[in-house]
């Protein structure tokens, strides 16, 4: 079975809708979301409703927890906390309740799913081979999916060897048949790897193969929506740079 893995939508309806169209055109049978449906962007209700409709599995990210009140806004950057407060004010309570019902990890699937990492599903940014090694020591599944960093990347550890990893570009295909793996699909709504296109991952659970995907979307429209909501202009500007 092929599964589309997405993460870090951040209330970017324009990017989310484009990725959903691309998934529809692929041979993925399900879509799994690793969290952060809200935060930074201007369309939190639309994005939560799209996830409710399309995601077979959906996790909570730290920005989702901020909006529900489960995390203090003091732990967030200024832009993130401003966006979280605004999101709290405008969101439909039904969608907030949906976020409250989500977990930050899911270990019942053939792969482990975590918003941030197997060691800390809420906060840890796995951006180095050292941190990946520590995650490999504790994860219960041979292959795990993580989000949170907004960078499309993979880490692998073969038996008897240290972990290694690197950022991944569109079209990269990985053979996951051997070794332990951590895969990050990148961010749908706010990529931070220099590629402004929405990022996602196509995972084949039968052949154990993963393909990193990118999808064009209306960046200008998403930025305009952020400005119209009077959120910090930096949140709009960064979309065009993929940073």
Predicted pLDDT at 216: 98
Query: Contact, 156 vs 133, CB < 8 A?
Result: no
Predicted pLDDT at 186: 98
Predicted pLDDT at 226: 98
Predicted pLDDT at 102: 98
pTM over cut 0.85: yes
Predicted pLDDT at 187: 98
Predicted pLDDT at 43: 98
Query: Contact, 211 vs 171, CB < 8 A?
Result: yes
Predicted pLDDT at 178: 97
Instruction: Report in angstroms the alpha-carbon separations of 221 from 15, 149, 227, 236, 237.
Output: 10, 24, 10, 10, 12
Predicted pLDDT at 223: 98
Cα 51 to chain centroid distance, Å, stands at 12
- Ranges assigned E (strand) in 123-243: 143-146, 152-157, 164-167, 173-175, 180-185, 198-204, 209-215
Predicted pLDDT at 143: 98
Predicted pLDDT at 200: 98
State the DSSP H helix or E strand holding residue 84, giving kind and residue range, or none if neither. helix 78-90
Predicted pLDDT at 189: 98
Cα torsion 24, 28, 32, 34: sign? negative
Predicted pLDDT at 215: 98
CATH of domain 2-241: 3.60.21.10
Q: Find all residues with CB under 8 Å of 122, minimum gap 6, and list them.
A: 61, 62, 65, 71, 104, 115, 116
Predicted pLDDT at 105: 98
Per-residue pLDDT of the chain (243 residues; tens, 9 = 90+): 999 999 999 999 999 999 999 999 999 999 999 999 999 999 999 999 999 999 999 999 999 999 999 999 998 999 999 999 999 999 999 999 999 999 999 998 899 999 999 999 999 999 999 999 999 999 999 999 999 999 999 999 999 999 999 999 999 999 999 999 999 999 999 999 999 999 999 999 999 999 999 999 999 999 999 999 999 999 999 999 999
């Amino acid at each position: 079975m092929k599964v589309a893995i997405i993460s870090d939508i951040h209330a970017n309806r324009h990017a989310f809708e484009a990725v959903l169209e691309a998934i529809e055109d692929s041979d993925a049978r399900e879509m799994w979301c690793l969290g952060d449906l809200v935060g930074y962007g201007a369309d939190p209700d639309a994005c939560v409703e799209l996830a409710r409709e399309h995601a077979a599995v959906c996790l909570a990210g730290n920005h989702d927890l901020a909006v529900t009140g489960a995390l203090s806004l003091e732990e967030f950057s200024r832009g993130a906390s401003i966006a979280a407060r605004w999101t709290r004010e405008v969101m439909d309570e039904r969608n907030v309740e949906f976020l409250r019902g989500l977990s930050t990890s899911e270990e019942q699937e053939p792969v482990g799913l975590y918003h941030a990492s197997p060691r800390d599903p809420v906060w840890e940014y796995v951006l180095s081979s050292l941190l990946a090694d520590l995650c490999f020591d504790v994860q219960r599944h041979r292959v795990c999916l993580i989000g949170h960093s907004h960078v499309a990347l993979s880490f692998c550890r073969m038996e008897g060897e240290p972990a290694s990893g690197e950022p991944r570009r569109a079209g990269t295909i990985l053979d996951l048949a051997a070794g332990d793996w951590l895969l990050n699909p990148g961010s749908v709504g706010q990529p931070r790897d220099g590629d402004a296109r929405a990022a996602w991952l196509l995972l084949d659970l039968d052949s154990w193969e993963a393909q990193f995907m990118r999808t064009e979307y209306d960046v200008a429209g998403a930025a305009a929506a952020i400005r119209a909501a009077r959120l910090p202009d930096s949140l709009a500007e960064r979309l065009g740079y993929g940073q």
